[in-house]
């Protein structure tokens, strides 16, 4: 154990981690510690293995080499220490669930049988709905909620067990600017401020720039880790992509120019 120094034990510890599908290399030699309360943004083009990175942390995807630990133990499927928020995806209009039922499923949906303790669950769900500001539509069908309202419920589900690690897979996609700010602020406040680490996969860093401590940039089988100021630079991105890229800063926003559609021409789709 290397916990002798003053730094708290990292929530995530990746050592010499590599991942490949057949002859296609996503990344290799990745050493990364993520500390409690840290907000890590994972960026990169389609097919660079961003989502697959989250799957390894969830224990749904084995590494090809190296090791991954969450809270000191190898990542395992179904761990209660990990919460996750997916991309917004509309529910069928007549889905027989209300907002509160969706949150409740996030809490005990993995258990067998039917729910017996309704009263205790109701209190817990009410508390979570309040935490994420969703009380007003607690009893509305999920099928009629807007994308932003829905993502608040996702946050409530993910935060239910006070996770040590919160994984977000493009949770702001297809939300308007107002909701992007509200949801990212909510994630930062409710996770980082409580000492959980956040791993936030995104293709657009600006909505979360003010919260990001470090960036993991994946591209073309390589990666770069550092603060936004260290990574979001013309030289770094040009080297990662292997083609000239220019990064400008304007009004606190980062503008990247000359980004190729994808670096991995053989496999334009995001990895499984």
Partner 1 sequence: MDLNDIWSTVFSFQDYAEILPLVTNSLIAGALLGLVGGMIGIFVMLRDMAFAVHGIAELSFAGAAFALLIGANVVFGSLVGSILAALVLGMMGAAAKDRNSIIGVLMPFGLGLGILFLALYEGRSANKFGLLTGQIVAVDTVQLGLLAVCSVVVLIALVAMWRPLTFISVDPAVATARGIPAAKLSVAFMVVLGLAVALSIQVVGSLLVLSLLITPAAAAMRITANPAATVSLSVLFAMTSVVGGILLALAGSLPISPYVTTISFLIYVICRLIAWRRDRVRHIETAALAA
Q: How many residues bind partner 1 (CB under 8 A)?
A: 37
Decide: is 154 part of the binding site for partner 1 (CB under 8 A): yes
Residue 171 Cα distances to 87, 146, 150, 265, angstroms:
5, 14, 10, 26
> Binding marks (x or -) toward partner 1, 58..77, rule CB under 8 A?
xxx----------------x
Phi, then psi, of 69 in degrees rounded to 5: -120, 140
User: Of 96-104, 192-200, 210-218, 246-254, which part binds partner 1 (CB under 8 A)?
Assistant: 96-104
Q: Is 251 in contact with 31 (CB distance < 8 Å)?
A: no
Decide: is 142 part of the binding site for partner 1 (CB under 8 A): yes
Residue 32 Cα distances to 29, 87, 145, angstroms:
10, 25, 38
Least Cβ distance, residue 84 to partner 1 (angstroms): 4
The C-alpha angle with vertex 175 and arms to 257 and 132, in degrees rounded to 5, equals: 125
Decide: is 89 part of the binding site for partner 1 (CB under 8 A): yes
Q: Is 39 in contact with 213 (CB distance < 8 Å)?
A: yes
Q: Measure the CA–CA gap between 223 and 50, rounded to whole angstroms.
A: 11
From 113, 250, 251, 266, residue interacting with partner 1 (rule: CB under 8 A): 113
Least Cβ distance, residue 2 to partner 1 (angstroms): 29
Decide: is 184 part of the binding site for partner 1 (CB under 8 A): no
Q: Record the tokens describing residue 15, joined without a space.
A: 């050592």
Decide: is 101 part of the binding site for partner 1 (CB under 8 A): yes
Helix extents (H) in the chain: 50-57, 99-108, 118-131, 147-159, 177-191, 228-231, 234-241
Q: Which is nearer to partner 1, 17 or 99 (CB)?
A: 99
Q: Which is nearer to partner 1, 31 or 139 (CB)?
A: 139
From 4, 23, 111, 250, residue interacting with partner 1 (rule: CB under 8 A): 111
Decide: is 98 part of the binding site for partner 1 (CB under 8 A): yes
Decide: is 265 part of the binding site for partner 1 (CB under 8 A): no
186 Cβ contact list (under 8 Å, min separation 6): 132, 133, 152, 155
Q: Measure the CA–CA gap between 118 and 108, rounded to whole angstroms.
A: 11
Q: Which is nearer to partner 1, 6 or 114 (CB)?
A: 114
Return the CA Rg of the chain. Answer: 19
From 4, 114, 266, 272, residue interacting with partner 1 (rule: CB under 8 A): 114
Q: Which residues are near partner 1 by CB under 8 A?
A: 58-60, 77-79, 82, 84, 86-87, 89, 91, 94-98, 101-102, 105-106, 108-115, 140-143, 154, 157, 167, 169
């Amino acid at each position: 154990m290397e916990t002798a120094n003053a730094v708290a034990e990292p929530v995530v510890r990746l050592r010499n981690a590599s991942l490949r599908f057949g002859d296609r290399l996503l990344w290799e030699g990745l050493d990364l510690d993520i500390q409690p309360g840290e907000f890590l943004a994972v960026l990169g083009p389609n097919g660079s293995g961003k989502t697959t990175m989250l799957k390894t942390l969830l224990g749904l995807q084995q590494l090809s080499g190296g090791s991954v630990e969450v809270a000191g133990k190898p990542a395992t499927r179904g761990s209660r220490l990990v919460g996750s928020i997916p991309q917004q995806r509309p529910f069928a209009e007549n889905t027989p669930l209300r907002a509160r039922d969706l949150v409740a499923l996030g809490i005990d949906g993995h258990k067998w049988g039917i729910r017996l303790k309704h009263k205790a669950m109701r209190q817990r769900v009410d508390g979570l709905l309040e935490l994420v500001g969703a009380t007003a539509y607690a009893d509305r069908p999920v099928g009629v909620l807007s994308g932003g309202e829905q993502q608040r419920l996702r946050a409530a589900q993910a935060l239910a067990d006070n996770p040590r690690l919160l994984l977000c897979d493009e949770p702001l996609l297809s939300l308007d600017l107002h909701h992007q700010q509200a949801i990212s602020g909510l994630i930062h406040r409710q996770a980082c401020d409580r000492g959980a680490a956040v791993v936030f996969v995104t293709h657009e860093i600006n909505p979360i720039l003010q919260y990001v401590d470090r960036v993991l940039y994946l591209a073309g089988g390589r990666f770069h880790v550092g603060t936004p100021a260290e990574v979001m630079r013309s030289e770094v991105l040009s080297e990662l992509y292997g083609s000239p890229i220019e990064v400008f800063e304007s009004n606190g926003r980062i503008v990247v120019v000359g980004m190729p559609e994808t670096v991995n021409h053989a496999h334009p789709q995001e990895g499984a």
